[in-house]
Amino acid sequence: MIDLHTHTFFSDGELVPAEHLRRVEVMGYEAVAITDHADSSNMDWIIPRIVQAASDLNLYSKTLLIPGIELTHVPPEMFADLTAKARQLGAIIVVAHGETPVEPVRSGTNRAAIEAGVDILSHPGLITKEDAESAASKGVFLELSGRKGHSLTNGHVAKMAQETSALLAVNADAHGPGDFLTAKMAETVAFGAGISAERYAQIRKDMAELVGRAG
């Protein structure tokens, strides 16, 4: 199992990084990214702390902890600069908080995030085919979300990815112990969105390759 979109108490999650990592280690995860919510006001505080946690904890864990960040509700006009800054601060995985149907994310966020070159566009809602095509060309992963509400448009996202050959990721968007996906539940998220077993196997390979590049 690999999950590249999770949260600790550095934003709105419940756990310190050590417990967060330990819980998924016991579940047999190969890698997990901590991607706490940030904008221009707090990313320079959060990212170095996740980087420090990864530096310390990876010495003792079988599960690889990857430092990341989720740029959340930032104006589309700021995405390019903030994505670059996040990488400078040490974020290995940059996630964009996409145009989920259950929050008032500004229109144009999906496109701005893709053009900025984020790694993962989380819960992109009713993403347009044009934006999915752009994601495919830039290697940006579209997320199938395991989180209540955000998951409502998983079927549409899967369809757009199928039509455009965009990469897909299955993530929990975990905020607490009860949110982490088991391998079986991750399959259910994918299959429930209309993904075939063969396509799901490719998703897992693609996510592993992203982890490999990040490492």
Per-residue pLDDT tens, the chain, 215 aa: give them.
Answer: 999 999 999 999 999 999 999 999 999 999 999 999 999 999 999 999 999 999 999 999 999 999 999 999 999 999 999 999 999 999 999 999 999 999 999 999 999 999 999 999 999 999 999 999 999 999 999 999 999 999 999 999 999 999 999 999 999 999 999 999 999 999 999 999 999 999 999 999 999 999 998 76
Q: Going from the N-terminus, what domains does the chain have, and what CATH number goes with each?
A: 2-214 (3.20.20.140)
Strands 64-71 and 93-97: parallel
HSE (side-chain half, CA atoms, 13 Å) at 178:
1
Contact predicate 69/49, CB 8 Å: no
